[in-house]
Amino acid sequence: MDAIDNLGDAIDVTRDRLTPIDASTWLKLAIVVFFVGGLTVGGPGVPAGDLTGVETQTGENGVFEELEGEFEAETGEELPVEELVSALIVLLLIIIALWLIYATIAAIMEFVFIESLRADTVRVRRYFNQHIGDGLRLLVFRLGLLFAFFLPLGIAGWYAFTTANGITTELAIVGALLAFLGLGLTLIYSLIARFTTVFVTQIMVLEGRGVLAAWRRFLPTLRGNLAEYAVYVILVWILQFAINIGFGFLAAITALAVLIPFGILAAIIIVIGGPLAILGGLVGIIAIVVLFFAIMAIRVPIDAYFRYYEFLLLGDTDHELDLIPERRESLRAADQNGAETDAGDDRWSDPGTDSDTELPPNGESPGDEGWDTSSEWTFEDDDDDDDDDEPRRGW
């Protein structure tokens, strides 16, 4: 099964691509990996409290009035409600804007990552400029997918909680049903989002299609190889769980190895004081940058391995969608040569003995005609030959 066989093949392809180690390549891939698999933002959650309290508890003994009273008692001034709400709205808008900027760059970097693994060199700026349109289409698809799955669920949850008359059995049942539905939607959403990111984007790069057109191209392949992709999903989830544990340990060890020497240096600078104290902040910034690239460098081969695994699987299930034919051909040729070498090592072995180097009797090769079947050795006695010349077998 290709989904299983490609687990080992992806290791070989990853090793061939990332070795010998080139610092420039790894640093560029580290930046790309940060956007491709770094920060993630989940869907909206279901409100956890009784929102009717906003209306019923705004009286004399309401929670908000209690907070306002405490503020006035401590400061002697009224709580600036309008200014506080405005500041929270501005902060929320800034967070949303920053997230949209990050999500946009991340969507474009998906294609930069594909091109970087597909080619022999990493050209971040060139690939970024080439796939701005693809990245924007992918971003719109991701946002649409997110809203399509979770916005109706959020509206239903909001309506259920705001119209309920307190905490009742009916509300608990509705909450349990919404939670169960949310888990199911999350599973489906995760599958569609993953297949879009790791398979559909390949088709977009290979055939210059949009997201929906690439999905239409991918669906026949998916339907025709459901078992392969089902095994792929199970294996990937298991591998990611195990590898993330190992990555956590490595990241912690790396953090200690980086932060301890920088921390000692910063402490010495602070103790000395004076003009050198300004360097303490600079040392902290350098430590953070070094730690970032060190941790991302650990992730480079991990993310590259999973992506090559998905390259190989898509190409094996549909040869027309092979994004790395040269690397695949080189890999298969190496495997074939290795198999032939193993077969060549065993072809002279005698099944009846434990030695793989024992030749058949009479010096003949099994299955070959025309070999000298005589058991005699041929010598050439010549008085002019040196005394230490040894007889040679006639092949």
Q: 323, 310, 319, 249: which is closest to 36 by C-alpha? A: 310
Interval 161-165 mean pLDDT: 74
Give me 9's structure tokens: 């093949």
Please report, rounded to a whole number, the percentage of residues in the chain having pLDDT higher than 70.
73
Q: In this predicted structure, what is the pLDDT of residue 56?
A: 38
For residues 53 and 45, what is the distance between their CA atoms, to the nearest angstrom? 19
Structural contact between residues 160 and 178, judged by C-beta atoms closer than 8 angstroms:
yes
Q: What is the pLDDT of residues 120-147, one digit of tens each?
A: 889 999 999 999 999 999 999 999 999 9
pLDDT band for position 58 (50/70/90)?
A: very low
Cis omega before residue 80 (within 30°)?
Answer: no
Q: Note the pLDDT of residue 347.
A: 45
Chain CA centroid to CA 148, Å: 25
Cα–Cα distance for residue pair 154/160, rounded to 1 Å: 10
Q: Nearest Cα to 300, choosing from 159, 117, 155, 141?
A: 117
Q: Provide the token pair at 180.
A: 């169960």
Residues 275-332 pLDDT 10s? 777 787 888 889 999 999 999 999 999 999 999 999 999 999 999 999 998 888 888 7
Residues 6+ away with beta carbon under 8 Å from 215 = 196, 200
| pLDDT reading at 387 higher than 90 | no
Residue 17 in tokens: 């691509």
DSSP string, 157-212: HHHHHHHS-SS-HHHHHHHHHHHHHHHHHHHHHHHHHHHIIIIIHHHHHHH---HH
SS3 379: coil
Degrees (nearest 5) of the Cα angle 299, 187, 146?
A: 85
pLDDT at 31 > cutoff 70:
yes
**Residue 205 contacts residue 114 (beta carbons within 8 Å):** yes
Tell me which residue of 22, 1, 2, 9 sits closest to 306, measured CA to CA: 9
| Lowest mean per-residue pLDDT among 74-78, 154-158, 233-237 | 74-78
Letter for the amino acid at 16?
Answer: D
The structure tokens listed for 358 are 């024992």
Model confidence at 70, pLDDT cuts 50, 70, 90, reads low
Q: Is 50 exceeded by the pLDDT of residue 98?
A: yes
Residue for token digits 């956890």?
A: 48
Q: Is the pLDDT of residue 392 over 60?
A: no
The least confident of 159-163, 292-296, 300-304, 360-364 is: 360-364
- Which positions ≥6 away from 204 have C-beta within 8 Å? 111, 134, 138, 210, 211, 214
Mean pLDDT over 357-372 rounds to 45
CB-based contacts of 197-202 (< 8 A; 24+ apart in sequence): 197/110, 198/306, 198/307, 198/310, 199/310, 199/314, 201/110, 201/111, 201/114, 201/134, 201/138, 202/114, 202/310, 202/311, 202/314, 202/321, 202/323
Cα pseudo-dihedral 230, 231, 232, 234, rounded to 10: 90
Q: Are 25 and 251 in contact (CB under 8 A)?
A: no
pLDDT band at 66 (very low <50, low <70, confident <90, very high): low
Hunting for tokens 């920060």 — which residue is that? 39
Cα 135 from Cα 132, distance rounded (Å): 5
CA neighbor of 296 nearest in space, from 37, 30, 26, 23:
30
Segment of 70-84, 152-166, 167-181, 306-320 carrying the highest mean pLDDT: 306-320
- Of the pLDDT bands very low, low, confident and very high (cuts 50, 70, 90), residue 155 is confident
Rounded to the nearest angstrom, the gap between the alpha carbon of residue 364 and the centroid of all alpha carbons in its chain is 55
Retrieve residue 372's tokens.
């000298």
> What does pLDDT average to over the chain?
79
3-class DSSP assignment, residue 315? helix
Q: What secondary structure does DSSP assign to 270-308, as a single string?
A: HHH-GGGHHHHHHHHHHHHHHHHHHHHHHHHHHHHHHHH
Tell which residue, 24, 26, 13, 10, has the closest CA to residue 298.
26
pTM of the model: 0.74
Query: Domain-by-domain residue ranges, the chain?
Result: 2-55+67-332
| 205 three-class SS | helix
Calculate what percentage of the chain has a pLDDT beyond 90. Answer: 49
